Amino acid sequence: MTRVGLLQPGSATIAAASRASTTVLLTIGPPLTVISFIAAEGHDSASLAGGLLQSSGSRLTLSPGRSTIWCRLCQARAIPTGPGWLFSFPDGSAGMQPEATMLKALIVGGYLAAMLLLGLLARRRRVRGHEDFFLAGRSFGPLLLFLTLAATNFSAFTVFGFAGAGYRIGYAYYPIMAFGTGFMALSFLFIGIPAWRAAKATGAITPPELIRHRFANRWLHGAYLAVMVVFTLPYLAIQPMGAGYALQGLLGIPYVWGAALVVVIGAGYLLLAGMRGDAWTDALQGALMLAGLLAIVAGLAAALGGFALANQRAFAAAPELFQRPGGGATFTLGIWLSYMLLWLLCVPVFPQLFQRFLAAKDEGALKTSAVL
């Protein structure tokens, strides 16, 4: 559990965890300046005045020009909210203790092991030929097709980029993503169904093969293949990067090791069972992400006094985040509409999503997944 509280200007608060050794002292003085951040023995301490940071160790960090302080050892944070400073720290924890790190490692390890296990179970269905490996025998029903499309679309950008953009720009960013994703579902009908029909009729199992059969032009087939490979690689590389940073923050392991671990696990279940193994793991990951999202939103709302109070505080601190242009007047009407077209026309032809159109069992599966 993480306790969260709000410190008003000019106040001083001592926030103690369940162990006396984890007492954290946050002293706030006008005008919304952190005067001192003092942790227990063995933790970092620092004083901040006029934007200067003095620290007894390297674990407490404050980037120049930014106002968030963070003790990596005890994981205490102080963030300006406008009317005060929002602070949070883990309950009953002296920080990144060995037992806490071990628990996180067990959870992450169990999750990764479950991915490999699903790959092994999917392999028991036997992979017969190229069509079965690349398209799971064109057998995906509505629910599995929806889950694999959704989980595939949730990338490192969804977890890190979208959250950061929402924090910086405000509520203006959320309808752009929501409506854009909703309109994207229309492409299941006017792109997915025709592509599925053509692939079924010609026996094509990849998008480049579909182009070759449709236009009978090997040069166009080669050009399409080259474009898919070249422009997908940067997007593909972002995914292990995001996982590497996530594991670095959770477990403290080097970023490169975390990224490599995720690549090995993903390649493992993909090579074991092809598209079927990929889709089964997608279904589990999609369900976990949805459950985690609901739990986190509900937990944060409860910690901040409910949705209404949290929004009132946010509005008082930064009312521009509640307007359509967003923070910094980022989204003019033209940019807002451009984003809508971007998701509608771009995402459906991502190779990782287009391939799944061809794996549908029938047209009804595509129609139902579009509705979902």
The predicted pLDDT at position 197 comes to 92
The predicted pLDDT at position 18 comes to 26
For the chain, give the mean pLDDT: 72
CA 247 – CA 153 distance, rounded (Å): 21
Low-confidence ranges of the chain (pLDDT < 50): 1-74, 81-87, 89-96
Residue located via tokens 């996530």: 246
CA angle, 149 then 155 then 157, to 5°? 140
Q: Which amino acid is at 200?
A: K
The predicted pLDDT at position 66 comes to 40
Q: What residues contact 280, with CB distance under 8 A and at least 6 apart? A: 118, 119, 121, 122, 273
Helix residue spans in 82-217 (DSSP H)? 98-123, 129-135, 142-153, 156, 162-169, 173-184, 187, 193-202, 207-215
The reported pTM is: 0.69
The predicted pLDDT at position 91 comes to 43
Beta strands in the chain (DSSP E): 2-7, 12-15, 24-29, 33-38, 46-49, 52-55, 60-61, 69-71, 77-80, 85-90
Burial class (CB in 10 A: 0-12, 13-18, 19+), 290: middle
Helix/strand/coil for 256: helix
Q: At what angle do helices 162-169 and 173-184 cross, to 10 degrees?
A: 140
CA 26 – CA 15 distance, rounded (Å): 8
CA 261 – CA 113 distance, rounded (Å): 12
The predicted pLDDT at position 100 comes to 65
The predicted pLDDT at position 71 comes to 47
Q: Please give the span between the terminal C-alpha atoms of the chain, in angstroms, as a whole number.
A: 33
Q: Are 4 and 86 in contact (CB under 8 A)?
A: yes
CA angle, 51 then 52 then 58, to 5°? 125
Q: Assign residue 75 a region: left if phi > 0, alpha if psi is -120 to 50, beta otherwise?
A: left
The predicted pLDDT at position 287 comes to 86
Percent of the chain's residues with pLDDT above 70? 72
CA 125 – CA 127 distance, rounded (Å): 7
